Structure 1
Amino acid sequence: MSFFGSSSAAPAKPAEDVKSAIVRQLQQEAAMANARALIGKINEHCFDACIPAPGSTLSSKESTCLSSCMEKYIAMWNVTSRTYIARVGQESKRLGGQDAAAFAAMATGSPEGSAGGLS
């Protein structure tokens, strides 16, 4: 009697399930890290550009500037992410490896290849 089942093919399925679960978890963690980085960069750049004298409230001009800046920054982030994903995909096909595609999805934080789901 074996601890791991009676056939040699039986353990492969649970191992693949565990691998898939780990990859999904890493993708989710990468997506969260990407979202935090995006929010941090937006705060850093847009705040400095739009609010010359911080106060207790935002003027309509500051609010409009922040909205426009955030929209532009997120659009730029998404274009950069899609370009990166396309490049990694090309390299993966060239190298013929599935591991490279999985790494690319992990690096971007989503299986669809968007920047943390912000596209």
Structure 2
Amino acid sequence: MESSFGSDFGSEFGSGGGGGGKLDPGLIMEQVKVQIAVANAQELLQRMTDKCFRKCIGKPGGALDNSEQKCIAMCMDRYMDSWNAVSRAYNARLQRERANM
């Protein structure tokens, strides 16, 4: 599932951001941050889908029954809660380490 983001991203680097051939480090950093955020979101979605499908779907078919729908919804909620808890702890640790530098 490739988006046009990658091609836009590369073309902006190649053009120097339209600034007469000069690269704007701030713009480049923002683009890199956006690209990392997109990659993280894609990874989260893929892992969550894989884990919850394996856990909740016993016999794939044309539709999900009520118990499978409920299992998937609860699994995704728990996965997101866990992801958010880990992210908060990781960010707090990064902030503490930066403060100690």
TM range (shorter): 0.7 to 0.9
The residue type equivalent to 2:98 in the other structure is S
1:32 has 2:38 as partner? yes
Q: Percent identity?
A: 34
Moved over 6 A (4+): none
Per the normalisation by structure 1, the TM-score is 0.64
The 2-side partners of 1:88 and 1:19 are apart by: 23
The 2-side partners of 1:19 and 1:82 are apart by: 28
The 2-side partners of 1:22 and 1:92 are apart by: 23
- Tell which has more relative contact order, 1 or 2 (C-alpha 8 A, sep 6+): 1
The 1-side partners of 2:50 and 2:91 are apart by: 25
In the alignment of these two chains, the number of paired residues is 80
Q: How far off is 1:73 after superposition?
A: 0.3
The 2-side partners of 1:75 and 1:29 are apart by: 23
Per the normalisation by structure 2, the TM-score is 0.74
Q: Which runs of 5+ in 1 are unaligned?
A: 1-13, 96-119
RMSD over aligned Cα, in angstroms? 1.5
Q: Which runs of 5+ in 2 are unaligned?
A: 1-18
The 1-side partners of 2:81 and 2:28 are apart by: 30
CA deviation profile, 1:37-88 (whole Å, cap 9, x unmatched): 1011111110000001111100011011101100110111011011101101
1:71 has 2:77 as partner? yes
